[in-house]
Amino acid sequence: MDDFSDEEIAREDIARVEERIDELLQSIERCRKFSLAGKAAIALGSAWIALTVAGIASFAAAPVIGALALVIGGVVLLGSNATTWNEAETSLRASKALRRRLIARTDRRAGDRGMTRVP
């Protein structure tokens, strides 16, 4: 005989899915921050190069190479971050759909027993 009711198992399943949703939301927030950092690196590097080309900043090899590294690093960061962000959003949509199905199934079971679900 089982020690757990179907309702208890369903609640545990829903709780696990909600934990996963929270993790994915945190991952997406980190992706937003990395995206901002990548864009800032590209902007700063580009600005320095533009100032150098315009003659406003004096030419020195080290700062220009640093600016180029910022631009390249920013592009790489945006590219790799975009993939992670897309995967996290896809997983988030799937997890939310799973949670809706689990809740609907729990609601149907409660309705079959003449019970109402308490939020």
Q: Is residue 117 part of a domain?
A: no
Q: Is residue 10 part of a domain?
A: yes
CA dihedral 90, 94, 96, 99 (to 10 degrees): -160
Alpha carbons 36 and 48: distance in angstroms, whole number: 18
Mean pLDDT over residues 53-77, rounded? 93
Q: Is residue 114 part of a domain?
A: no
Quick one: pLDDT at residue 31? 95
**Number of domains forming the structure of the chain:** 1
* Category of 33 on φ-ψ map: left (φ > 0), alpha (ψ -120 to 50) or beta: alpha
Q: Is residue 72 part of a domain?
A: yes
Domain containing 23: what range? 6-106
Q: Is residue 111 part of a domain?
A: no
Residue position matching structure tokens 């939020």: 119
The residue ranking higher by pLDDT, 10 or 97, is 97
Q: Is residue 79 part of a domain?
A: yes
What is the per-residue pLDDT across 68-111, written as a single tens digit (0 to 9) for each? 999 999 999 999 899 999 999 999 999 999 999 988 887 776 65
The confidence band for 1, taking pLDDT boundaries of 50, 70 and 90, is very low
Determine the angle formed by the axes of helices 61-112 and 6-53, rounding to 10 degrees. 160
Q: Is residue 28 part of a domain?
A: yes
